[in-house]
Amino acid sequence: MRLRFPMKSAVLAFVVFLVFIPQFSVGIRMIPGRIAAVSTTVGNGFDLGSFVEAPEYRNGKECVSQSSNRENFVSSCDASLVHVAMTLDSEYLRGSIAAVHSMLRHASCPENVFFHLIAAEFDPASPRVLSQLVRSTFPSLNFKVYIFREDTVINFISSSIRQALENPLNYARNYLGDILDPCVDRVIYLDSDIIVVDDITKLWNTSLTESRIIGAPEYCHANFTKYFTSGFWSDPALPGFFSGRKPCYFNTGVMVMDLVRWREGNYREKLETWMQIQKKKRIYDLGSLPPFLLVFAGNVEAIDHRWNQHGLGGDNVRGSCRSLHKGPVSLLHWSGKGKPWVRLDEKRPCPLDHLWEPYDLYEHKIERAKDQSLFGFSSLSELTEDSSFL
């Protein structure tokens, strides 16, 4: 995607367009939330900060309400819902809140989205506290919080090029088939450093053909060999595991997953096997990604790239500012070292960090929210040459 005028002006106009135009999800009724903050300080003095209550996003008349015949109870087992799984922890809480907010704002039927939130057992904020904060921020949200026992995976984790990649919660996606209720047959897994600017139902409707287990945007132009060490490629046996496949890189921060096939195929154990090999012989430098490449690359349902504009956090060592890839955008992903909320707070944001900012419900955004009506915008044709990005 090429912006026609200077980046700063384009980003501001793009932000305004994404946030303040109500008609691109016609099923939504939006009831403004209270400008009131919820602050949570846990017992050990760790302050989670304060969050503004989100607007209440309700289904419009075009939607079939999932709760109309259930006395407002929505089951996590309801297969007619859009099921989204994300992690929830004190370090990335602000990102998770913004991600949920973006999905609700752009969903055609927000009440039909169910969030499966996975919290670490020994996080500085307990799963109970995190659950209370989510409920306070999104009073009508359909969600369930699961507890992830870090000792499940801690002995499988090896050192990575960045310490953050060693967080046990990064590996929760490996255990979704075990963590989520057995009745959950299918789920979208999303990282916490994303925002969605399109209807999440479109991603949910991805078909997994030929008995594929997962779907994700693939990047076959990437140098696949760099995701593994020279010791891997020089091993007489290991490269042979890609025999018969044409492996392509894919980012595990956005995946559509068939949990029935996942459980039947014992894919958790297959991932753990590669992690055990890594402990004995270093075959990669990144964290939770390479085992997924080893198990699935070459057998992934290819999803349009618009659903993972990744790498916006910069590289994994230095961090840097990145621009959008060419083409339409439905999901922006700040994978890499830099996170938008950190850079914004430090007053050294990258230009694209301003695309994340409107979804931030952190308390210090209250004054900005009051001033939303002061913004104006130009036509979409003035923002981009490709009007299909929404």
pLDDT (tens digit, 9 = 90+) per residue, 30-85?
A: 444 444 444 555 555 556 778 999 999 999 888 875 544 445 678 999 999 999 99
Contact 181, 269 (CB under 8 A): no
Q: Give pTM, 2 decimals.
A: 0.83
Q: What's the mean pLDDT in 88-108?
A: 96
Does residue 208 or residue 370 have the better pLDDT?
Answer: 208
Does residue 33 or residue 309 have the better pLDDT?
Answer: 309
Query: How far apart are alpha carbons 352 and 15 in whole angstroms?
Result: 10
State the burial class of residue 81 (Cβ atoms within 10 Å of its Cβ: 0-12, 13-18, 19+): buried
Residue 155: name the closest of 252, 285, 272 by CA: 272
Would you place residue 388 in the very low, low, confident or very high pLDDT band (cuts 50, 70, 90)?
very low
Q: Is the confidence at residue 4, as pLDDT, over 50?
A: no
Residue 148: name the closest of 178, 125, 188, 182 by CA: 178
Q: Do strands 143-148 and 56-59 pair parallel, antiparallel, or not at all (unpaired)? A: unpaired
